[in-house]
């Protein structure tokens, strides 16, 4: 376990990686603070930049944005009662009341320290569990990969926000997009419409930027209020939170572990884990801690959990190649495009890269605690940036970044097209993450399925004869039945 | 902005654009468009790119542009200006095989060659602890008794490793189930896991996975090919003639630029590549990775590439023969 960290150390501890971690945390916090953006948007906008960097500094930057962005969302939740990201939705239950009592300083301090410590706890779990899981996955062959990809697709579609049916339809769209390109077995072109630009499918980064960044832009433009500047309290740097958090140490550990566990289940995601750990903390709390009226424990529980989820989501991403949520799906795509295949091979042949990524995650959380506190006054200023400045910047970054990928105007059309698709789907309340996951897992599923059939002497029986693939398929079947029942039967709402 | 200031700005802009064209080549970093996904083979191209970059005083980055059997990379490079800042890592697949199959509308004569880079032979390998097969004769005997029972992968279907593998099977009238993989690196995993029985490997992959595989025969008639597989026997030692000789049963690449690249730029690039390939440390690193520096000069391009193109037809026929056999099982 520690061998991995030792092997990764020379790769990670370079000026570039450390600097990019620091910049990534700052960028992540800023983008997390801004309502409507969030860690995924941060990763999406920086993805094109990442391809011009070495793999480890690139991943360090993206992971830092992921960590910083997940933590940053709480600040606007506390100050404005607008969660910067859905991850921070539960933070406003107690964060905002705490700020109303004139303790916004403490609320932000607690949320940053809890996020950081929650992330560190998750980091330790990540370092222990990923290699174990990856080691187990060494027994995987095409049937298991096909089964795992199917399970990953189903879980993410099912658990994603919105209805399960819409999630699955969005996943199906991703699968359809994934069929465009060159057939791996016969080298035949599929749906390329005679253009060479589509022979390896639409560029994943262009799709991601269009789907998430551009569609968000359209939605924000539609929302208007381009010149609004919120009124917020004046903020100072304060280290009091370091003292306060000690009172909540068990809450931090418990919430972080809950977050990590839920994060490791593909599709569960940070918003779910934040609400779950908030509910648990509330139940365990004493009478005098008035949850919902500004309890410190409420902020700690949600923030430790949602950052813990980031570490948790990295576990299946790195060890199995199955992303835990939309952000990790994009991180997974980045790792693919940087030339590394997440999964057992990553730990076996590129232990240094795996170790470097772990270190990047740990370091991000350490940097977060320092910068998060020091930069508090700055976030107050960031929150006052009106949309009229912000939206053109997002458009500029999206366009430049996507074009710079391979100097291709075609990629810009792809971005624009998926921006439109993303906008329409958002309007119809379809989740977008399953599309990306479908695009990433589609080829894994298809090619391993066909390969398994070639390897088989007995048609599809190969999937049932092998215990691991049979088990995974059984889980998928149970899940499908469960979803069908819950969808068909009218839901009771409490 | 007034009209005058706009004109001044435009003039300044034009001057800035015109500047580099007048300066000496190379002024900025160069890209070499590599046609496969990153892996063991890309490292060999990287070694040459680094050394050549040293000679030129700029950085040459190897850009992986996989897709459509190498065609995507060529199309990408063709879409760039013919200014020498984009090089083609001209692997045999996009250069010769894809046009032969009608998947690309160029021939090898449509490019200006720099120097040939490396060649690598392919070999038949089994799991290191597979005691069913001590040598190639055992494998062939088993396949004769149990046609279609074994499963093998040459990596991508239709590539040279597949041609060479199929040619070997055709020469011995044996058949095994073909299982294509996008990258040969991934096939190693499944051979190790026991789900594949043998594979057609390249020296890069062999070097990384030495401990897990046993090479039964090197599919080449060139003596130095054996050395890249730890001295494993050549296929000829088993009295098998696969019908492909010299360079044709191996993978090789020739670095190229667009045909209309200015002559002085071509000369600069050729000199740099020649100097890079002549460096002892570069040669040694390539050999250590299993890639033999071929060192054919630009004026040998026509003769060598032209000859190979003809011989690959045999490999293509072997694949067709194999498909028929597999369909008949």
- Cβ of B177 and A181 within 8 Å? no
Q: What local confidence, expressed as pLDDT, does residue B36 receive?
A: 81
Residues of chain B with pLDDT under 70: 1-23, 39-40
ipTM over 0.85 threshold? no
Q: Which residues of B touch A200 (CB under 8 A)?
A: 66-68, 72
Rounded to whole angstroms, how far apart are CA atoms A201 and A180?
A: 5
Contacts of B64 in chain A (CB under 8 A): 339
pTM, two decimals, is 0.78
CB contact (8 A) between residue A200 and residue B71? no
User: Which of these, A372, A90, A337, A37, lies nearest to A215 by C-alpha position?
Assistant: A37
To the nearest 10 degrees (0 to 180), the angle between helices A142-159 and A467-488 is 20
Q: How far apart are CA A236 and CA A238, in angstroms?
A: 6
Interface contact B189-A345, CB threshold 8 A? yes
Between CA A236 and CA A487 the distance in angstroms is 50
- Are B182 and A447 a contacting pair at CB < 8 A? yes
Contacts of residue A35, defined as CB under 8 A and 6 or more positions apart, other chains included, come to: A76, A80, A82, A83, A84
User: Which of A58, A134, A182 is the best mutation test for B, with the most CBs of B within 10 A?
Assistant: A182
CB contact under 8 A, B68 and A451: no
Pairwise CB contact (< 8 Å): B195 & A189: no
Per-residue model confidence (pLDDT) at position B92? 84
CA distance B65 to B76: 8
User: CB distance from A381 to chain B under 8 Å?
Assistant: no
CB contact under 8 A, A185 and B157: yes
Interface test with A, best of B154, B190, B195 (most A CBs within 10 A): B195
Q: Under an 8 A CB cutoff, do A187 and B69 touch? A: yes
Question: CA angle, corner A168, sides to A59 and A421, nearest 5?
Answer: 70
Residue range A144-180, pLDDT digits in tens: 889 988 888 887 666 665 677 888 899 899 999 999 9
Return the domain boundaries, chain A.
1-487
Q: Do A339 and B38 touch (CB under 8 A)?
A: yes
Six-digit token pair at B314? 């045999």
Instruction: Flag whether residue B178 sits within 8 Å of chain A, measured between CB atoms.
Output: yes
Which chain B residues are closer than 8 Å to A406 by Cβ? 65, 76
* Residue B3: how many other CB atoms lie within 10 Å: 7
What are the respective helix, strand and coil percentages of chain A, to the nearest 5? 75, 0, 20
Sequence-ordered strand ranges (E) for chain B: 30-34, 60-64, 86-91, 111-120, 123-127, 151-153, 177-178, 198-201, 213-218, 251-258, 292-293
Cα torsion through B26, B31, B33, B38, rounded to 10: 140
Q: What's the mean pLDDT in A86-106?
A: 83
pLDDT score for A494:
42
Interface test with B, best of A189, A198, A200 (most B CBs within 10 A): A200
Q: What is the pLDDT of residue B19?
A: 42
DSSP string, A31-43: HHHSTT--HHHHH
Q: Is A202 on the interface with B (CB under 8 A)?
A: no
Tens digits of residue pLDDT in A423-465: 999 999 988 878 888 888 888 899 999 999 998 877 899 999 9
Burial of residue B2, with CB atoms counted within 10 A of its CB: 0-12 exposed, 13-18 middle, 19 or more buried: exposed
What is the model's pLDDT at position B13?
A: 47
Instruction: Please list every residue in chain B whose beta carbon sits closer than 8 Å to the beta carbon of residue A190.
Output: none
SS3 (DSSP) at B121: coil
B208 touches chain A (CB under 8 A): yes
Judged by a CB distance cut-off of 8 A, whether residue B67 touches chain A is yes
Q: Report chain A residues whose CB lies below 8 A from the CB of B65.
A: 406
- Helix, strand, coil % in chain B, rounded to nearest 5: 50, 15, 35
Helical packing angle, A269-284 and A249-264, nearest 10°: 140
Chain A residues whose CB is inside 8 A of the B196 CB are 455
* Residues B317, B323, B327: CA angle, nearest 5 degrees: 150
CB B100 within 8 A of CB B73: no
Tens of pLDDT, residue by residue over A383-417, are 888 888 888 888 988 888 888 777 788 999 999 99
Asked if the C-beta of B72 comes within 8 angstroms of chain A's C-beta atoms, the answer is yes
Distances (CA, A) of A438 to A171, A445, B109, B120, B202: 5, 10, 42, 37, 33
Choosing among B35, B182, B205, B210, which should be mutated to test the A contact, i.e. which has the most A CBs within 10 A?
B182
Q: Is A50 helix (H, G, I), strand (E, B) or coil?
A: helix
Could you tell me if B310 lies within 8 Å of chain A, comparing CB atoms? no
Say which residue, A358 or A236, is predicted with more confidence: A358
Predicted local confidence at residue A453, as pLDDT: 93
The Cα A154–Cα A149 span in angstroms is 9
Q: B138 or A485, which is more confident?
A: B138
To the nearest whole angstrom, how far is the Cα of B163 from the nearest Cα of chain A? 14
User: Are residues A454 and B177, on separate chains, in Cβ contact within 8 Å?
Assistant: yes
Looking at every residue in chain A, the average pLDDT score rounds to 85
Contacts of A344 in chain B (CB under 8 A): 189
Nearest to B31, CA basis, from B70, B72, B64, B69: B64
Establish if A454 touches chain B: CB-CB under 8 angstroms: yes
Domains of chain B and CATH, by start: 30-120+250-296 (3.40.190.150), 123-247 (3.40.190.10)
CB contact under 8 A, B180 and A199: no
Chain A closest CA to B234's CA: distance in Å? 28
B177 contacts B150 by C-beta, under 8 angstroms:
yes
Q: Which residue of B71, B161, B192, B322 to mutate against A (max A Cβ within 10 Å)?
A: B71
Cβ pair A451:B179 closer than 8 A: yes
Min Cα distance A479 → chain B (Å) is 29
Residues of A whose CB is below 8 A from B72 = 196, 199-200
Interface contact A182, partner B, CB < 8 A: yes
Residue with tokens 């459509």: B68
Please report, to the nearest 10 degrees, the dihedral formed by the alpha carbons of residues A155, A156, A160, A163 taken in order.
Answer: -60
Burial class of A82 by CB neighbour count within 10 A (0 to 12, 13 to 18, 19+): middle
Over range A477-490, report the average pLDDT: 76
| pLDDT at residue number A289 | 79
Residue B1: predicted pLDDT: 42
């Amino acid at each position: 376990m520690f061998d991995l960290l030792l092997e990764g150390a020379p790769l990670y501890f370079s000026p570039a990686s450390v600097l990019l971690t620091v910049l990534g945390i700052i960028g992540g916090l800023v983008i997390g603070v801004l309502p409507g953006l969030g860690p995924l948007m941060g990763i999406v906008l920086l993805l094109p930049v990442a391809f011009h960097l070495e793999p480890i500094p690139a991943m360090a930057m993206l992971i830092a944005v992921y960590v910083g962005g997940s933590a940053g969302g709480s600040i606007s939740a506390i100050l404005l009662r607008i969660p910067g990201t859905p991850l921070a939705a539960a933070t406003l239950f107690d964060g905002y009341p705490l700020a109303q009592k004139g303790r916004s300083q403490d609320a932000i301090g607690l949320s940053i320290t809890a996020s950081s410590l929650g992330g560190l706890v998750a980091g330790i779990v990540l370092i222990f569990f990923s290699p174990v899981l990856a080691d187990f996955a060494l027994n995987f062959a095409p049937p298991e990969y096909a089964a795992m990809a199917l399970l990953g697709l189903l879980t993410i579609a099912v658990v994603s926000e919105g209805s399960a049916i819409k999630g699955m339809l969005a996943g199906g769209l991703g699968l359809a997009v994934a069929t465009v390109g060159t057939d791996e077995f016969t080298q035949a072109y599929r749906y390329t419409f005679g253009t060479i630009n589509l022979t390896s499918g639409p560029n994943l980064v262009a799709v991601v930027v269009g789907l998430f960044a551009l569609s968000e832009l359209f939605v924000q433009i539609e929302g208007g209020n381009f010149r609004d500047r919120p009124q917020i309290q004046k903020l100072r740097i304060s280290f009091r939170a370091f003292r306060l958090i000690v009172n909540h140490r068990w809450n931090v550990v418990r919430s972080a572990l809950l977050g990590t566990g839920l994060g490791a289940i593909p599709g569960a995601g940070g918003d779910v884990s934040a609400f779950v750990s908030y509910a648990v903390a509330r139940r365990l709390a004493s009478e005098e801690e008035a949850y919902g009226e500004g309890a410190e424990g409420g902020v700690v529980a949600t923030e430790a959990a949602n950052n813990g989820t980031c570490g948790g989501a990295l576990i299946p991403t790195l060890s199995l190649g199955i992303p835990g949520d939309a952000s990790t799906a994009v991180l997974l795509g980045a790792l693919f495009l940087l030339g590394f295949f997440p999964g057992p091979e990553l730990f076996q042949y590129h232990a240094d890269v795996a170790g470097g990524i772990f270190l990047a995650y740990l370091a991000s959380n350490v940097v977060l605690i320092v910068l998060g506190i020091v930069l508090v006054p700055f976030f107050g200023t960031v929150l006052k940036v009106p949309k009229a400045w912000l939206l053109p910047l997002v458009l500029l970054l999206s366009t430049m970044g996507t074009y710079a990928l391979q100097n291709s105007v075609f990629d810009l059309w792809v971005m624009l097209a998926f921006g439109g698709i993303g906008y329409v789907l958002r309007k119809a309340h379809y989740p977008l993450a399953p599309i990306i996951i479908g695009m990433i897992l589609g080829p894994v599923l298809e090619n391993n399925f066909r390969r398994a059939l070639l390897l088989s002497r007995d048609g599809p029986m190969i999937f049932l004869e092998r215990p691991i693939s049979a088990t995974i398929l059984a889980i998928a079947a149970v899940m499908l039945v469960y979803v069908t029942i819950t969808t068909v039967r009218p839901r009771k709402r409490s | 902005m007034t009209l005058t200031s706009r004109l001044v700005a435009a003039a300044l802009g034009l001057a800035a654009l015109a500047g580099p064209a007048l300066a000496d080549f190379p002024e900025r970093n160069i890209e070499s468009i590599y046609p496969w996904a990153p892996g063991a083979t890309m490292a060999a191209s990287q070694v040459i790119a680094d050394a050549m970059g040293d000679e030129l005083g700029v950085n040459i980055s190897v850009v992986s542009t996989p897709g459509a059997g190498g065609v995507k990379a060529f199309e990408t490079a063709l879409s760039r200006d013919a200014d020498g800042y984009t090089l083609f890592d001209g692997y045999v697949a996009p250069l010769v095989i894809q046009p032969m199959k009608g998947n690309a509308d160029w021939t090898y004569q449509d490019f200006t060659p720099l120097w040939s880079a490396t060649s690598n032979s392919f070999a038949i390998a089994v799991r290191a602890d597979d005691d069913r097969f001590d040598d190639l004769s055992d494998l062939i005997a088993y396949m004769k008794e149990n046609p279609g029972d074994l499963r093998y992968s040459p990596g991508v279907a239709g590539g040279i490793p597949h041609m060479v593998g199929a040619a070997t099977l055709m020469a011995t009238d044996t058949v095994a189930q073909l299982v294509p993989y996008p990258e040969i690196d991934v096939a190693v995993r499944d051979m190790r896991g026991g789900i594949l029985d043998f594979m057609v490997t390249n020296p890069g992959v062999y070097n990384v996975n030495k401990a897990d595989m046993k090479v039964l025969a090197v599919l080449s008639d060139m003596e130095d090919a054996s050395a890249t597989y730890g001295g494993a026997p050549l296929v000829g030692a088993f009295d098998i003639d696969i019908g492909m000789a010299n360079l044709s049963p191996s993978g090789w690449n020739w670095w190229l630029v667009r045909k209309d690249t200015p002559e002085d730029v071509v000369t600069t690039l050729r000199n740099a590549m020649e100097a890079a390939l002549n460096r002892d440390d570069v040669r040694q690193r390539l050999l250590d990775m299993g890639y033999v520096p071929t060192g054919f000069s630009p004026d040998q391009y026509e003769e060598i590439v032209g000859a190979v193109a003809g011989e690959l037809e045999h490999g293509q026929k072997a694949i067709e023969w194999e498909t028929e056999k597999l369909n008949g099982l």
